[in-house]
Amino acid sequence: MTSAFNVNTTSRNMISKILEKHTLEQLNKIPEGFGNNLIWNIAHVIVTQQLLVYKLSGLPIMVSDELVEKYKKGTKPEQAATQDEVDEIKSLLFSTIEKTKEDYANGIFKNYTEYPTSTGFVLNSVQDALNFNNFHEGLHIGILMSIRKLV
Tens-digit pLDDT profile for residues 97-117: 999 999 999 999 999 999 999
**Any idea which architecture 2-148 has in CATH?**
Up-down Bundle (1.20)
The secondary structure of the chain as a DSSP string is: -HHHHHHHHHHHHHHHHHHHTS-HHHHH---TT-SS-HHHHHHHHHHHHHHHHTGGGT---SS-HHHHHHHSTT---SSPPPHHHHHHHHHHHHHHHHHHHHHHHTT-------EE-TTSPEE-SHHHHHHHHHHHHHHHHHHHHHHHTT-
Give the separation between CA 49 and CA 63, rounded to whole angstroms.
10
**Any idea where the domains of the chain sit in the sequence?**
2-148
State how far the alpha carbon of 34 is from the alpha carbons of 2, 45, 92, 144, in Å: 35, 17, 25, 11
For residue 57, name the pLDDT band (cuts at 50, 70, 90).
very high
Q: Identify the CA nearest to 89 among candidates 131, 38, 140, 135.
A: 38
Task: Tell me the pTM.
Answer: 0.96
pLDDT digits (tens, 9 = 90+) for 2-44: 899 999 999 999 999 999 999 999 999 999 999 999 999 999 9
